[in-house]
Chain A
């Protein structure tokens, strides 16, 4: 798994490549948490994520809970159909807003 984190206009952009599972979940969580000390708006690009395991989904949910408690928000971009299906069957999807492109997600943040 490769993670790129950038901050622009008070939005944290996270791009992930690879799988998020029990091997990588811990690292991902700690890296993102560092960035969230001062900011609370996140756009996570999952275009190149092939698989999200149970542990991976839990990292997303923990981030959601963390952001929610700060009045923040995380938007997911380009979630594959398969991952979307898994998220739906396991209930995780109810916590997230999904967008088909980064621009769409940015619009959402600008509107709110």
Chain B
């Protein structure tokens, strides 16, 4: 016996049908490997008894059910250590007895075997769309995982927020298409194979759409027209907040999803790429009173869900139920969960789906000072994590510009998306707003700085960038909801023809518009986010709500890199242009003042006439200049950058602001030109012959650098 084994609690005190156990430790919640056994701990505010149910993997019937003696309960927490378990081959759950009294919020069901809210892995969906255990009893069983991954020297990267360039990825969508050329399509391992591509593109952060365990078969149905199976593809419906989606791991079937995901994160970090998770804490997969009892409902319905006075479910998420985020216990669960992902998985940041729900009280009313948001902002373990809110919910709360930030929180800038779209299609009355957007939205974030806003023109929700310029209307018929689903306000413009066309002029214009959009995005202050595939013209055939398609609608066709090489090479250029120029990545807002006495204010606004911006309603052109002396508050010297965007249909002559110190304007980007003259490689920009004026083509953007 080694010294370490020399503790009396390493040995059992009780035995039940041959299984040895003893009183457990109440913390941490969940199942933890301890010497000789496993410690199980679970909380319920109203259960009258708790039984631990043990299964062998792949067996229908539990091999043991251990009722926890009442002396194993401390307060409302039941804890037990069970010895001699084959920790790789068992699955577990709980039966909770208690009142079935919906009016008072209780929905206990002793028949159900419940998965552990703190389980670190969940069985049942080990392989994506494997329906072999669809009819199985209690399919979502809890599992044990090793938490001793060898991270070596890895740590979260802590890239300054203003330097981040986010790339939004769906794990399956990114590599499921046969053209991806990877070994295990649609998996974490496959993303790892694509790291060289991501590096080449120049992004330094991937935001993974939900990877918490979910059930792709939830609400699955067959499309009557096509016969396609429609599934819960996006995964915004959490089964468990601590478990990675096993079906996203090539090794999920071997129970190694945790190691595979950690290996991906470690390798991304090694390549300078951060990992942000899109997390869904606003609701769970249990739906409303008609939904299945999988975990939370049967363990402690009244604690985990926001309930109406008569015991039904509030539905601020639009999906049936609402997690009771500001209940003190649930608040701790969310905190425990994020701490777990930050420390165990080295996650760099989190994007919170429908985050406004996290600011609602237990009765659903919006809180002035939401304790959950405040705790997350001040948490010692999450102190360096990026916290990003989708600052609205389905209950009508819209907080873009007003999300309780506590000096930490950033927001998806929905206003940026809409303004840039309107400007690009030539709408009037947008130039003033566009100018705000390109400065990092100081009208909303004056005291929070530019990094309060995540700038995006497209994301998974809505049109792709290509479709934004190929469709006026959504085409969601394949979703089987009579085209009623999805957003109607897309601010899109099809460039003259709805959908695919052979018309060269239309196609050229679409490509130009994509380049215009990417240029505006990469030359805006704030944090840019690109949707996977937008750099190569990915289409969803006009569908702006592809949540249910595990098919070409969502799978990135990698042959587009070649087919649309002009787009890909342009995206790569403009991303790397942003990375090269610190003047584009200011943390503080520019203030239109020359505090460096360089002769130029940090930012100046122009029109077709230099120094004369036109803010009138019918104007569709905008130009601005950034003075490189003011980069990073004047501590770094950069070139001057001049951008002119002409969304008028015809070419216009722009007078250029004159440079001092013998500097000259050089041409980096001119989207009206065809390759190879659309852009010039970094540091090889040709000097302009005419230093006083430039004819900017219709619906085109130019970028000049003064050096």
Query: A interface vs B, CB < 8 Å?
Result: 21-23, 53-55, 57-58, 61, 85-86, 88-92, 95
Contact = CB atoms under 8 A, between A and B. Distances in A.
A55 B258 CA distance: 13
B183 A86 contact: no
B86 A54 contact: no
Given A86-B254, A90-B260, A91-B263, A54 B150 contact: no
A60 B192 CA distance: 23
Nearest to B189: A89
A23 B86 contact: yes
Contacts, number: 55
Given A22-B89, A89-B263, A91-B150, 20 more contacts: A22-B88, A23-B86, A23-B89, A53-B88, A53-B254, A54-B88, A54-B254, A54-B255, A54-B256, A55-B87, A55-B88, A55-B146, A57-B259, A86-B251, A89-B250, A89-B256, A90-B256, A90-B260, A90-B263, A91-B266
Contacts of A86: 251, 254, 256
B664 interface: no
28 contacts: A21-B88, A22-B88, A53-B254, A53-B255, A54-B88, A54-B146, A54-B254, A54-B255, A54-B256, A55-B146, A58-B148, A61-B150, A85-B183, A86-B254, A86-B256, A88-B189, A89-B189, A89-B250, A90-B251, A90-B263, A91-B149, A91-B259, A91-B260, A91-B262, A91-B263, A91-B266, A92-B259, A95-B150
A70 to B, nearest CB: 18
B110 interface: no
Interface in B235-267: 249-251, 254-256, 259-260, 262-263, 266-267
B184 interface: yes
Contacts of A53: 88, 254-255
Contacts of B256: 54, 86, 89-90
Nearest to B183: A85
A98 B89 CA distance: 28
Contacts of A85: 183
A61 B263 CA distance: 15
A90 B183 contact: no
B461 to A, nearest CB: 30
B254 A22 contact: no
A26 B537 CA distance: 53
A94 to B, nearest CB: 9
Is chain A's interface secondary structure helix, strand, loop, or mixed overall?
Answer: helix
Contact of B251 (A55, A58, A89, A95): A89
Interface in B496-526: none
Contacts of A55: 87-88, 146
Contacts of B189: 88-89
A57 B254 CA distance: 12
A54 B120 CA distance: 15
B10 to A, nearest CB: 15
Interface string B251-285: 10011100110110011000000000000000000
Classify chain B's interface size.
Answer: 20 to 34
Contacts of B87: 22, 55
Given A21-B88, A89-B184, A89-B263, A58 B146 contact: yes
B672 to A, nearest CB: 46
Interface string B77-90: 00000000011110
Given A89-B263, A90-B259, A95-B150, A22 B86 contact: yes
B188 to A, nearest CB: 8
A61 B146 CA distance: 13
Contacts of B192: 89
Nearest to B257: A90
A22 B37 CA distance: 13
Contacts of B188: 89
Contacts of B88: 21-22, 53-55
Contacts of B263: 89-91
B680 to A, nearest CB: 40
A53 B88 CA distance: 8
A42 B386 CA distance: 45
Contacts of A23: 86, 89
Tell me which of B254, B262, B266 has the highest count of chain A C-beta atoms within 10 A of its own C-beta.
Answer: B254
B89 A54 contact: no
Contacts of A95: 150
B270 to A, nearest CB: 10
B252 to A, nearest CB: 10
Contacts of B262: 91
A17 B636 CA distance: 63
A53 B187 CA distance: 19
A89 B86 contact: no
A21 B146 CA distance: 13
B31 to A, nearest CB: 14
B344 to A, nearest CB: 15
B185 to A, nearest CB: 13
Nearest to B149: A91
Nearest to B255: A54
A96 B268 CA distance: 21
A90 B267 CA distance: 11
A42 B88 CA distance: 27
Contacts of B251: 86, 89-90
Nearest to A25: B88
A91 B267 CA distance: 9
B504 to A, nearest CB: 45
B149 to A, nearest CB: 8
Contacts of B250: 89
A11 B216 CA distance: 51
A54 B89 CA distance: 11
B176 to A, nearest CB: 17
Interface in B49-107: 86-89
A91 B270 CA distance: 13
A21 to B, nearest CB: 6
A21 B87 CA distance: 10
Contacts of A88: 189
Contacts of A91: 149-150, 259-260, 262-263, 266-267
A61 B250 CA distance: 21
Give me the 3 closest cross-chain CB pairs, A-B, nearest first.
A91-B263, A22-B88, A90-B259
Nearest to B267: A91
B347 to A, nearest CB: 17
Contacts of B249: 89
Nearest to A91: B263
Nearest to B188: A89
Interface string B117-150: 0000000000000000000000000000010111
A55 B88 CA distance: 8
A57 B149 CA distance: 11
B543 to A, nearest CB: 32
B256 to A, nearest CB: 5
Interface in B136-187: 146, 148-150, 183-184, 187
